[in-house]
Structure 1
Amino acid sequence: MSTGLETTGLTKSFGGVRAVDGATVAFRHGKVNALIGPNGSGKTTFFNCVTGMIKPDSGTASYHGRDITGRPPHRIARAGIGRSFQLCRIFPRMTALENLLVPVRSRTLLGRLVSARQRADLDRARELLTRVGIEHLADVQARDLSYGQQKLLELAGVLMADPETVLLDEPAGGVNPALIERIRELVRALNAEGRTFLIVEHNMDLVMSLSDHVVVFDRGRPIAAGTPDEVRNDPRVLEAYLGI
């Protein structure tokens, strides 16, 4: 099985606390991967290290064999990795459609001029709003969307850059069951089209129903990896979650 995103000995400390502690892990390319673990086990810090939001203290991260350790976020994004955040990062006073157009318009000095590229970006933005199911909200300010709709908007924004690998940080957090099902369907469809996913999530029903490969973190390092069934029955995972 080929791997895309891998880390070797990745470490990040805050003061005297090692949030990520020598993590060596590989995720399956072309599959839906999940990264789970108790609160405080280092999952979001791991995401931040591999996407360039923070610089690791030591260790390496690589993507398709190329070292991406410590690169700035925009370069990692250009390498084919997109991500969402635990708390939505959107422009609240812009419409849903404008939220998708801001990143792509900043690529050119002629951003204020109508061009074939801009028309293509506009068409793609509308297509993605339809894909995630909020096309009817295109002209609504993002701050007036429900939290679940904001999550869908953020996902559409990630897809706007056409990443090969998508990292989702708690996509189901604070979302109602109907929208969770919509997220489940989207991930399945996008994966079937060739996108790799790595999902941090506490909703175990979503994790176990979606994932091909699950990695479990505890105290900043991986303690188990395998299929959902293998992980579900691993005594190390039971101990980390349940203390048994």
Structure 2
Amino acid sequence: MPNDEGLRATGVTVRLGGLTAVDGVGLEAPPGTVTGLVGTGGAGKTTLLDVITGLRRPAVGTVHLDGADLTSCAAHERARHGMARTFQRPEAFGSLTVQENVLVAAELHTARQRRRRDARRSAAILADSLLERVGITAYAGRRAGTVPMGVARLMELARALAAEPRLLLLDEPWAGLPVPTARSLECLLRDLAAEGLAVLFTENDLDLVMGVCDVLYVLDAGKVISHGPPARVRSDPRVRRLRPGRAERLS
């Protein structure tokens, strides 16, 4: 029977040609917790998210969500099990407004749960509430292809939340955000976790995420070299001894 243990990835290995991009990685993201996956470019963070969300099959390893083995499930099946994700480069319907982009996601979700008339009404209410929650109501009527990158990221976050997921995966969500908006996003992620959501995000900069995470994993050359509470990870000699080319954004 499914339970509420959140995400558990075990022994995930991905080989790309002759390169091992992810090497035996194990990772957990429990409900009510903000989990960070930190590493420089090329460390394997996005590849690991691709495996978790079903966009890439691992050579070996398993992915479970709330006790259900999703290793062989396609991406859309994992979404139905409660996964939602954002990407490094926001994906949007550029000709639609910001509000319409979120509304499409909300309608897809509510249509599975309610009668058509009720679904449309509920989707509109949900979309508007999410625009307000992520702080971009002022951009609701703007075409998605014309808004700043930071707004596009928050729009994609709103679309992900429209699915009312149990696991939220964010790929470098702070990229392109001004400092005040970045701080607001930190508070939002903490609030979402407090409501019982499992949150997992990737980031390059360890300092940036010290105050938002409950647990940190540091990935280097496809391997987890340290994990645990942020303060302990930051002081870990294995993290501090990263060679200069990889450590410049982790110190």
Q: Structure 1-normalised TM-score? A: 0.92
Match of residue 31 from structure 2: 29
Letter in 2 for 1:182: S
Letter in 1 for 2:8: E
For the Cα contact (< 8 Å) 1:93–1:143, is it kept in 2? Answer: yes
Match of residue 212 from structure 1: 214
Once the two structures are superposed, what CA deviation does each residue of 1:6-27 show, in whole Å capped at 9, x if it has no partner?
1221111111011111112223
- Structure 1 stretches lacking a partner, 5+ long: none
Match of residue 229 from structure 2: 227
* Aligned counterparts of 1:139 and 1:32: Cα–Cα separation in 2: 32
Match of residue 185 from structure 1: 187
Once the two structures are superposed, what CA deviation does each residue of 1:6-63 show, in whole Å capped at 9, x if it has no partner?
1221111111011111112223332110001122110100000010111112111111
Match of residue 134 from structure 1: 136
* Aligned counterparts of 1:103 and 1:124: Cα–Cα separation in 2: 10
For the Cα contact (< 8 Å) 1:38–1:240, is it kept in 2? Answer: no
1:241 Cα offset (Å):
5.7
For the Cα contact (< 8 Å) 2:215–2:228, is it kept in 1? Answer: yes
For the Cα contact (< 8 Å) 1:49–1:70, is it kept in 2? Answer: no
Once the two structures are superposed, what CA deviation does each residue of 1:75-134 show, in whole Å capped at 9, x if it has no partner?
11111111110111111111011101223445769xxx9712101101110111011111
For the Cα contact (< 8 Å) 1:172–1:203, is it kept in 2? Answer: no
1:153 aligns with 2:155: yes
For the Cα contact (< 8 Å) 1:212–1:227, is it kept in 2? Answer: yes
Letter in 2 for 1:200: T
- Structure 2 stretches lacking a partner, 5+ long: none
Letter in 2 for 1:116: D
1:153 Cα offset (Å):
0.4
Match of residue 240 from structure 1: 242
RMSD value, Cα: 2.0
The DSSP-based 3-state class of the residue aligned with 1:118 is helix
Letter in 1 for 2:25: A
The DSSP-based 3-state class of the residue aligned with 2:72 is coil
Number of aligned residue pairs: 240
Identity %: 38
Aligned to 2:96, which of 94, 109, 117?
94
